[in-house]
Amino acid sequence: MMNLSEYLTEAGVTQSEFAARVGVTQGVISRLSSGHSLPGLALAVRIENATNGAVKAQNWVRNRLPDTDKGAAA
């Protein structure tokens, strides 16, 4: 699976161009590409659609799921 930064590089798309496609600012795409921020579910889905599935929404969501094994009672 590809991350957003890889997609932008391989597709030859600027952050500004991609931002316009998904309806956010270039700064948002910069933060997402660098890993300093995670999108909400709606934006993650827009990114998946705009990349024709190359960057999956589940990649972003998986990073947000709590580790249910930690501290679980036996």
Written in H, E and C, the secondary structure of 50-66 is: HCCCCCCHHHHHHCCCC
Local confidence band at 30 (pLDDT 50, 70, 90 cut-offs):
very high
If you search the block for the tokens 């699976």, which residue do you land on?
1
Residue 39: pLDDT above 50? yes
DSSP assignment, residue 64?
T
48 within domain boundaries = yes
**Residue 28 placed within a domain:** yes
Please report which confidence band the pLDDT of residue 6 belongs to, taking 50, 70 and 90 as the band edges.
Answer: very high
User: What's the pLDDT score for residue 74?
Assistant: 44
The mean pLDDT value of the chain amounts to: 88
Which domain, by its residues, includes 50?
4-56
Q: Is residue 69 part of a domain?
A: no
In a domain, 10, yes or no: yes
pLDDT for 68: 56
Name the CA dihedral angle for 21, 2, 55, 57, rounded to a multiple of 10 degrees. Answer: -140
Note whether 60 and 44 are within 8 A (CB): yes
Judge whether residue 24 has pLDDT over 90.
yes
